[in-house]
Chain A
Amino acid sequence: AQSVSQHNHHVILSEAASLELGCNYSYGGTVNLFWYVQYPGQHLQLLLKYFSGDPLVKGIKGFEAEFIKSKFSFNLRKPSVQWSDTAEYFCAVYVPSWGKLQFGAGTQVVVTP
């Protein structure tokens, strides 16, 4: 069965700390990969996406993600988080044969001042 796994359900860190959120998927062919963010009380917004090309993708607000095909991973990183990065983060995978987006369970990130 197709699946998307996010390694951590909750992460708590201090401002200026570095953040890395893991995402793995189970499909061996061509994929489109996404990270979405949901700020408290808001809807999902796109942080970044990977379709092809350079496996290191830069998104909004200083986030980046690296696609490692051999590890079926698309981990999200930010070198120095801010309190405003407190949110839930979702990894998502689109496979053309699936015809729809598969989401991970989400990681709740809390940044303390």
Chain B
Amino acid sequence: NAGVTQTPKFQVLKTGQSMTLQCAQDMNHNSMYWYRQDPGMGLRLIYYSASEGTTDKGEVPNGYNVSRLNKREFSLRLESAAPSQTSVYFCASRRSQEEQYFGPGTRLTVT
């Protein structure tokens, strides 16, 4: 089991560029999540998907879109990157009533 995988590990974008962060899990989990982590602010939920075919906004959804492509994959898209989106992005997945499992993270810098 690879658990939760994320690509890429690092990315540098110019303001206004777009990109998609990929996440996949092989644990047959129903729920998947995207967080951003910024110093002193903990993890803030961007979007989540409680099950295949559904997505919901989290705490900080502005500037992002998501796609739950199938049960395994949950992608996060930045349509027009801004410096305020410089952060570390974590994907996570969860089976109901259990803890969340996190991916290794993507460190994104927007210049």
A-to-B contact residues, CB < 8 Å: 9, 32, 34, 36, 42-46, 49, 51, 90, 99-101, 103-106
Q: Can you identify 6 A-B contacts, CB atoms within 8 angstroms?
A: A34-B99, A42-B104, A46-B99, A90-B43, A99-B50, A101-B94
Complex contacts, B90 vs chain A, CB 8 Å: 43-44
Is B58 positioned at the interface, with any CB of A under 8 Å from its CB?
A: yes
Given A43-B102, A100-B33, A105:B97 Cβ within 8 A: no
Among the interface residues B35, B58, B92, B102, which one has the most CB atoms of the partner chain A within 10 A?
A: B102
A103 to B38, CA, bound (A): 13
Q: Are B45 and A49 in contact (CB under 8 A)?
A: no
Chain B interface, number of residues (Cβ within 8 angstroms): 22
Q: Are A103 and B105 in contact (CB under 8 A)?
A: no
Query: Contacts A34-B99, A43-B102, A43-B105 hold; do A103 and B43 have CB atoms under 8 A apart?
Result: yes
- In the complex, what distance in Å separates the CA atom of A72 from the CA atom of B11? 40
**Looking at the complex, which one of A9, A43, A90, A100 makes contact with B40 (CB distance below 8 Å)?**
A9
Indicate whether B41 reaches chain A with its CB closer than 8 angstroms: yes
**Residue contact A100 to B48, C-beta cutoff 8 Å:** yes
Output the nearest chain B residue to A10 by Cβ-Cβ distance: B40
A90 to B40, CA, bound (A): 11
**Cα distance, A100 to B50, chains bound together (Å):** 9
A99 contact set on B, CB distance < 8 A: 48, 50, 56
- A44 neighbours in B (Cβ, 8 Å): 43, 90, 92, 102
Tell me the minimal C-beta distance from B89 to chain A in angstroms.
11
Nearest CB in chain A to that of B98: its residue: A49
Contact partner of A100 (CB less than 8 A), chosen from B42, B45, B103, is: B45
Taking CB as reference atom, which chain A residue is nearest B90?
Answer: A43
> Is B67 positioned at the interface, with any CB of A under 8 Å from its CB?
no
CA gap between A44 and B50 in the complex, in Å = 20
Q: Contacts A43-B90, A43-B105, A44-B90; is A101 near B100 (CB within 8 Å)?
A: yes
Is A105 in contact with B42, judged by CB distance below 8 angstroms?
Answer: yes
A106 to B44, CA, bound (A): 11
